[in-house]
Amino acid sequence: MKILIKGANWIGDAVMSIPALRRTRMAFPDASIALHTRRWAEGVFRDAGIFDEIISYDPSGSKMRTVIEQAKVLRRHSFDAAVLLPNSFESAMTVGLAGIPRRFGYRTDGRRILLTDSLPVPEWKSVRHESEFYSNLADLFIKSMGGEAGSAPTETSLTVSLERKSGAINRLASFGMGYGFPVVAIGAGSTNSMAKRWPAEYFAKLCENLSSSFDAEIVLLGAANEADVGAELLKLTDAKLLDLIGKTDLSEATATLAIVDLFVSNDMGLAHIAASLGTPTLTIFGPTNETATAPLGPNARFVREVVECSPCMLRECPIDHRCMTRLTPETVFEAASEMLNSRIAQNDRDQS
HEC secondary structure over 22-40: HHHHHHCCCCEEEEEEEHH
Q: What is the pLDDT of residue 276?
A: 96
Same fold across 2-144 and 162-351: yes
If 0-12 CB within 10 Å is exposed, 13-18 middle and 19+ buried, where does residue 31 land?
Answer: middle
Is the model's pLDDT at 4 over the cut of 60? yes
Average pLDDT of span 158-184:
91
pLDDT in the model for residue 156? 84
User: Which pLDDT band holds residue 149 (cuts at 50, 70, 90)?
Assistant: low
Q: Is the pLDDT of residue 150 over 80?
A: no
79, pLDDT greater than 80: yes
Asked if pLDDT for residue 5 goes beyond 80, the answer is yes
E strands, the chain, where? 2-6, 32-38, 53-57, 81-84, 102-106, 117-119, 183-187, 217-220, 241-243, 262-266, 281-285, 300-304
CA distance 152 to 1: 21
Q: CB neighbours of 150 closer than 8 A, spacing ≥ 6? A: none
pLDDT of residue 43: 83
pLDDT-derived band at 178, boundaries 50, 70, 90:
confident
| CATH tag, 2-144 | 3.40.50.2000
Beta bridge partners of 281: 263, 300
Average pLDDT along the chain: 94
pLDDT tens, residue by residue, 320-346: 999 999 999 999 999 999 999 999 898
Domain boundaries, the chain: 2-144, 162-351
Nearest Cα residue to 175 out of 62, 74, 264, 256: 256
Say what the pLDDT of residue 191 is.
Answer: 85
Radius of gyration, alpha carbons of the chain: 21
What is the dihedral sign for C-alpha 200, 202, 207, 212?
positive
Classify domain 162-351 at the CATH topology level.
Rossmann fold (3.40.50)
